[in-house]
Chains A and B, each alone.
Chain A
Amino acid sequence: MADNNEIKISVKNLKKYYGDLQVLNDINIDVNKGEVVVIIGPSGSGKSTFLRCLNRLETATDGTIIIDGIDITSRHTNINKVRENIGMVFQHFNLFNNLNIIDNLTLAPTQLKKCSKEEAAAKARKMLAKVGLEDKAASYPSQLSGGQKQRVAIARALCMEPGIMLFDEPTSALDPEMVGEVLQVMKDLAADGMTMVIVTHEMGFAREVADRVIFIDGGYIVEEGTPQEVLLNPKETRTIDFLNKVL
């Protein structure tokens, strides 16, 4: 479990509507520093929407979301400042197609004046080494495989030295043989003590790496607990049904 009890993310009574359609119903979650939380659930259950609320790519209709003590649902919060501290990895990688790999990694740190161009490039190379792609610095995203793209996407997020990492189905768009390399990078990150919230269908990964698993269906948290509890001994019938289908 978490090394200490510093709360990094605190979600209270989060509700999200698209018009009349309620996609998130009264979600309450606290995530501690260093904790790895895996969110599972059927498609359309609201799990990606929930994740995107955490850095305000989706705006909450109601409720509060506190990141490192800052209420991001408040209009007065400078969301860009908060986002600098939250890395996000997307299902479809979203590498900047007009920039080569090193520029993908250095764009945000240099634009946001976090460091000089040289420092940013040095850090970018370090991060590329960490995900095993030092030799791809000068390549363009179109020249990389899916697994490589996703590792670059993780490295890009890490260049901002975030305190929190969000993963939105990071392996769902990958060929099966590339899933492992991305999960390995994520495991290393978890071992380094990164606070992570991960939406995934990789149950093996969840069992191995998660401190806590949350099952969301119909916009509600149906069940949450340790991987042991939720994945191996689920209590709710909806969780049992879902796990029977995916395992």
Chain B
Amino acid sequence: MVKIITVYGLLLLQAMGRTLLLALLGLFFACFIGLIFGMMGVVKNRVANIISQIFVDAIRGVPMIVLAFFVYFGVPYFFNTIIGGFSVSLSALSAGTICLALNCGAYMAEIIRAGIQSVDIGQMEAARSLGLTYGMAMRKVVLPQAIRTMIPTFINQFIITLKDTSILSVIGFPELVNTAKNVQANTFMSFQTWAIVGIMYLIVITILSRSAKVIERRLSVGR
């Protein structure tokens, strides 16, 4: 145990850094994807509703490991070999970010859609009756109230996404699990290695979920 920490500790910490980087990048883009498809799910437009639903169903219906292989190997193969004439290649980081953004974005879209729909329709009607446009009413009245109910679920989704980065070890991105595999291969100390990795995840995620509780309590004060 001590040997792994002294010899490989820095390596594992750096790998944890890359895990967090990947998770943050994925989350950043997931927010946009979630907002776009979430809004498309609530606007009064059948086509937008259907597109949003298809996106969410498609991403939720595919395991992320399959999505990862598809984006990292499948998409370049499609352009370079099936169509031909391209030389597309994705780094493991970009492919991983795309996978996380799509996967987490689909869940965020559902969270945003449900959050908006949880706000009483009377709020929108009152805003519109004063002459505000749909966009103004959404930005100034509905979304601020929806976000309050969404934040705890968001943080929960962040935690899931952080854990899901481990799946991306399969496409060779040197995040924590992938790095730990190498440590184990070098030292043969599988018990110690995986115990340390487990504790590292546990610490980061516990900090996240504790702060989620604090934020949740702060938000409920003004109610």
Indicate whether A and B interact. yes
B-binding residues in A (CB < 8 A): 55, 57, 80-81, 83-84, 86-88, 90, 92, 94-99, 107-108, 111-112, 140, 142, 153, 156-157, 160
CB atoms of B125 and A94 under 8 A apart: yes
Give which listed residue, B120, B129, B133, B136, contacts A88 with CB less than 8 A. B129
Contact A90 B122 (CB under 8 A): yes
Q: Which A residues are CB-close (under 8 A) to B223?
A: 142
With A107-B140, A111-B136, A111-B140 as contacts: A90 and B127 at CB distance below 8 Å: no
Q: Which residues of A contact B222 (CB under 8 A)?
A: 140
Neighbouring A residues of B129 by C-beta, 8 Å:
55, 57, 83, 86-88, 157
* B145 x A97 contact (CB < 8 A): yes
Q: What is the minimal beta-carbon distance from A56 to any residue of chain B, in angstroms?
A: 9
Q: How many residues of B contact A (CB 8 A)?
A: 20
A168 to chain B, nearest CB (A): 10
The residue that A80 contacts in the complex, of B120, B131, B141, B148, with Cβ under 8 A, is B131
Q: Which residue of A lies closest to B146 (CB)?
A: A98
Please, which residues of chain B bring their CB within 8 A of the CB of A80?
Answer: 128, 131-133
A to B CB contacts below 8 Å, 7 in the list: A57-B125, A87-B129, A87-B130, A92-B122, A94-B120, A107-B130, A108-B127
**Residue contact B132 to A112, C-beta cutoff 8 Å:** yes
Q: How far is the CA of A84 from the CA of B136 in the complex (A)?
A: 14
Chain B residue with Cβ nearest A86: B129
A216, chain B: closest CB distance, angstroms: 21
Cβ 8 A contact of A57, one of B123, B128, B136, B141: B128
Interchain CB contact under 8 A, B125 and A83: no
Check A94/B122 contact, CB under 8 A, given A107-B140, A111-B140, A142-B223: yes
B144 CB-CB contact with A under 8 Å = yes
Which of A80, A98, A156 counts the most B-chain CB atoms under 10 A from its CB?
A98
Contact pattern, B 24-39, Cβ under 8 Å of A = 1, otherwise 0:
0000000000000000
Q: In the complex, A96→B130 CA distance in Å?
A: 12
Chain B residue with minimal CB distance to A55? B129
B145-166 CB mask vs A (1 if < 8 Å, else 0) is 1001000000000000000000
Given contacts A112-B132, A157-B129, 18 further A-B contacts (CB under 8 A): A57-B128, A80-B132, A83-B131, A86-B129, A87-B129, A88-B129, A90-B126, A94-B120, A94-B122, A94-B125, A94-B126, A96-B140, A97-B145, A98-B144, A107-B140, A108-B131, A111-B140, A156-B130
